Chains A and B, each alone.
Chain A
Amino acid sequence: MRNLVPVLTVVAVIFAIWYAAAIVLNAPWAHNKAERAGTELTFSELVADTWSQNKPKLPAPHQVGAELWKTTGEMVANGRGFSKRSLIYHSWITFSATGLGFVLGTALGIALAIGIVYNRTMDMSVMPWVIASQTIPILAIAPMIIVVLNAVGISGLLPKAMISMYLSFFPVVVGMVKGLRSPGPMQLDQMRTWNATPAQTFWKLRLPSSMPYLFTSLKIGMAASLVGAIVGELPTGAVAGLGARLLAGSYYGQTIQIWSALIMAATLAAVLVGLIGMIQRMVLKRMGMA
């Protein structure tokens, strides 16, 4: 726990800046209100007001915290943890699209990487397209994916998952191509001396060797997947999911709701990436590659 002090220091600094910024950004509205009421604000009154407005430009951390608690812990305590007003419910909706997109993206990424490593034509032709696919802004292509899939009768989870997949397959392709090519010439020669088939070389040498690369890619892919799922919820008029909460919040100027959804998304990402990190440590330690 020797990381605790530096981490807490950074958190404290962030909170200090956040509170100060809340005063500065919310002050005009507070002054405006006071002027209309014909009163003069002392500094402590100003601070108290800027930290407790209903629709602040920048909500103070404790307001976001209270909102988070109200939409998660408190609702669980009341036995309504999975109601449509609960952030846990919205997180679950976003997570299901993230998870499915991540699985699809990982599968697609690994499949493409195997193709690139084993097939010369694919090696020459696929990579430029893979890179080109990532230069297209996801915000531009997401509505089109939703519209096209809707037109062929696919709606709900899958279109969002497709957008997640679109973002998450890329790091997996890049990482796995490098990983599957990581065995040295000597190790490949050795397989040749045993007259191993390409399939045996893949399962016994290339795939195990690629594990450190795979896990690094999976972490990036998971984060990208979450971004994809949230972006996928924005243009669809989705009623559920963290993206829908963000959008609804911005429609109605509910900044506190936006920020609590953002914090929830960040927490979700941290948990998911942390989970992969844990599996990575366990697997690589067992494989003697940590």
Chain B
Amino acid sequence: MTSNTVISARDLSLTFETNDGPVHALKGVNLEIEKGDFVSFIGPSGCGKTTFLRCMADLEHPTGGTITVNGVSPQEARRARAYGYVFQAAGLYPWRSIGGNIRLPLEIMGYDKAEQARRVKEVLSLVDLAGFEQKFPWQLSGGMQQRASIARALAFDADLLLMDEPFGALDEIVRDHLNEQLLHLWDSTHKTICFVTHSIPEAVYLSTKIVVMSPRPGRITDVIESPLPRQRPLDIRDTPEFIEIAHRVRDGLRAGHGDEV
């Protein structure tokens, strides 16, 4: 583990006790994530990708192994507000304006009014929503709402961004656009991003590191370091390198599925 390691998981397991016996959501997971990485977690439902993300966020508690975030336990990292978490649904409060929603974590964390206003303006322009501060969530499209929720996660300037299928509910055109914006954001803010997704093209397009997972028990089957450059126009998806990586991801997913039958 170097000083640049953001996430370090060692033999991490998590078993849920259910009425039908134990469910191994995660088993023997080892992973290191370096500062500035864009890491995608991909795999079928039940492979533990969301559970893994929730372990990093201290929303689930591993039953075995160790995990550190910024060198400390996830709980300490959460208390230090070390990460921003973007959920699958935007989850904006209808009674707050867009600005008010982004201000919410800042209010909770005790920033003063002037600083709140400054940061709201800053992150709104970062997600290309400048001028929408006074609007209410219902006045925005689904894609814009999700961008607002990303702005909210960025507002308190945590170095780590955890995203759980943030674009899963959006149509493909909006999704492409948001992917492009997200890459731009990652490039300009130098954040570390962990991104859970179902989509192979999305994972390959966005990531510097792709973690392929498989279910029963949830585990990592392949970790692919992407050779693609940091600057990625959308049409990079038609290059042979891109298609080759996508192939490898698909093979990893199929292998993970194969040994269950």
Contacts and interface: CB of A to CB of B under 8 A. Distances in A.
Interface in B195-219: none
Interface in B27-42: none
A193 B88 CA distance: 15
A279 to B, nearest CB: 15
Contacts of B81: 194-195
A194 B87 CA distance: 13
Given A193-B78, A193-B85, A196-B108, A208 B93 contact: yes
B104 A289 contact: no
Contacts of A192: 58-59, 78
Contacts of A205: 93
B94 to A, nearest CB: 4
A193 B108 contact: no
Nearest to B87: A186
B43 interface: no
Contacts of B108: 191, 194-196, 200, 204
A190 B85 contact: yes
Contact of B87 (A189, A204, A287, A289): A189
Interface residues of B, number: 25
Contact of B105 (A186, A189, A194, A286): A194
Interface in B10-26: none
A27 to B, nearest CB: 60
Contact of A288 (B57, B79, B88, B136): B136
Interface string B75-93: 0001101011101110101
Nearest to A188: B59
Interface string B86-124: 011101011100000000110111000000000000000
Nearest to B54: A189
Contacts of B84: 193
Contacts of B59: 189, 192-193
A288 B83 CA distance: 29
Closest 10 CB pairs of A and B: A288-B94, A287-B95, A193-B85, A194-B105, A196-B108, A194-B108, A200-B108, A186-B87, A288-B136, A189-B59
Given A186-B87, A193-B85, A288-B95, 11 more contacts: A186-B88, A190-B91, A193-B83, A193-B84, A194-B108, A194-B109, A194-B156, A204-B108, A288-B136, A288-B138, A289-B94
